[in-house]
């Protein structure tokens, strides 16, 4: 039978603080690594968007449907980045826990208070790591912070492409027919895909706006906020 009260490791105060300092440094290194991965995904989206816009606007014979392809690339990269953001946030939560409950008392030269049982919470997370925010919240955050501007730029370039290269699009009355006629898909399929994409953008925008009202990116999150109080 396992001992319900396993023996603790005998560490003096100096050794304990030394271990915790190395632990804090390691967690900071992890969040910096995931921060770089987030920036890399965003850079991919910017490069893809820039390349497609440049290609489409420089050739009049290119269909404006390439901008729909650009939107799909950005949407895919948004999903990838939101997954990376959840990993980044999980390690960031550990760093914030150490900063608030371990480093702060040392900075103030005060006795540590353990009302929140942060040591047990942090140890449990080391045993069974968990995400601190949901998939949808990660999507809302990355969309509201970065990707909404990419989608707006693509939409603006799409409008310029139709206006400049599609016959009859120079008037308000002929703009929508020019959009429909300037691409190879059947009209029903084109408008169905367009409405589905527009609906997904509205969903992301509403979620991002609601999230910005109730919390900010510097908060720990919603999933385990009671256990991860800072």
pLDDT at position 213 is 54
DSSP letters for 92-144: HHHHHHHIIIIIHHHHHT-----TT-HHHHHHHHHHS---SS-HHHHHHHHII
Q: How far is CA 76 from CA 1, 72, 79, 192, 222, in A?
A: 50, 6, 5, 19, 24
Cβ atoms of 125 and 96 closer than 8 Å? no
To the nearest 10 degrees (0 to 180), the angle between helices 13-58 and 66-98 is 170
Pair of tokens at residue 90? 């999980």
pLDDT at position 148 is 94
Question: How large is the C-alpha radius of gyration of the chain?
Answer: 25
pLDDT at position 75 is 95
To the nearest 10 degrees (0 to 180), the angle between helices 118-127 and 66-98 is 130
Instruction: Provide the 3-class DSSP secondary structure of residue 83.
Output: helix
Pair of tokens at residue 12? 């003096």
Instruction: List CB contacts of 49: < 8 A, sequence separation 6 or more.
Output: 70, 73, 74, 150, 153, 154
Pick from 217, 20, 218: nearest CA to 101: 20
Cβ atoms of 18 and 10 closer than 8 Å? no
Pair of tokens at residue 102? 């371990």
Note the pTM of the prediction, 2 decimals.
0.80
Pair of tokens at residue 142? 């990355």
Per-residue pLDDT 10s for the chain (230 aa) are 455 555 555 666 788 888 888 999 999 999 999 999 999 999 999 999 999 999 988 887 888 888 999 999 999 999 999 999 999 999 999 999 888 888 888 888 776 555 568 888 888 888 998 899 999 999 999 999 999 999 999 999 988 888 777 776 677 666 777 777 767 788 888 888 889 999 999 999 999 988 875 555 555 444 455 555 44
């Amino acid at each position: 039978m396992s001992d319900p009260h396993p023996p603790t490791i005998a560490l003096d105060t100096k050794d304990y603080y030394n271990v915790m300092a190395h632990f804090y440094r390691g967690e900071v290194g992890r969040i910096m690594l995931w921060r770089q991965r987030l920036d890399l995904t965003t850079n991919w989206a910017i490069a893809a968007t820039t390349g497609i816009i440049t290609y489409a606007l420089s050739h009049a014979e290119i269909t404006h449907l390439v901008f729909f392809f650009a939107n799909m690339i950005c949407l895919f990269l948004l999903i990838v980045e939101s997954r990376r953001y959840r990993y980044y946030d999980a390690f960031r939560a550990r760093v914030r826990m150490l900063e608030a409950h371990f480093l702060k008392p040392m900075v103030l030269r005060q006795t540590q208070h353990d009302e929140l049982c942060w040591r047990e919470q942090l140890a449990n997370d080391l045993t069974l790591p968990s995400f601190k925010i949901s998939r949808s919240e990660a999507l809302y955050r990355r969309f509201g912070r970065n990707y909404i501007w990419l989608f707006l730029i693509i939409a603006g370039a799409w409008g310029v492409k139709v206006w400049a290269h599609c016959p009859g699009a120079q008037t308000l009355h002929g703009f929508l027919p020019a959009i429909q006629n300037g691409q190879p898909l059947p009209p029903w399929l084109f408008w169905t895909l367009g409405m589905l994409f527009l609906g997904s953008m509205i969903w992301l925008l509403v979620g991002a706006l609601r999230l910005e009202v109730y919390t900010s990116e510097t908060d720990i999150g919603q999933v385990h906020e009671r256990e991860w109080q800072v």
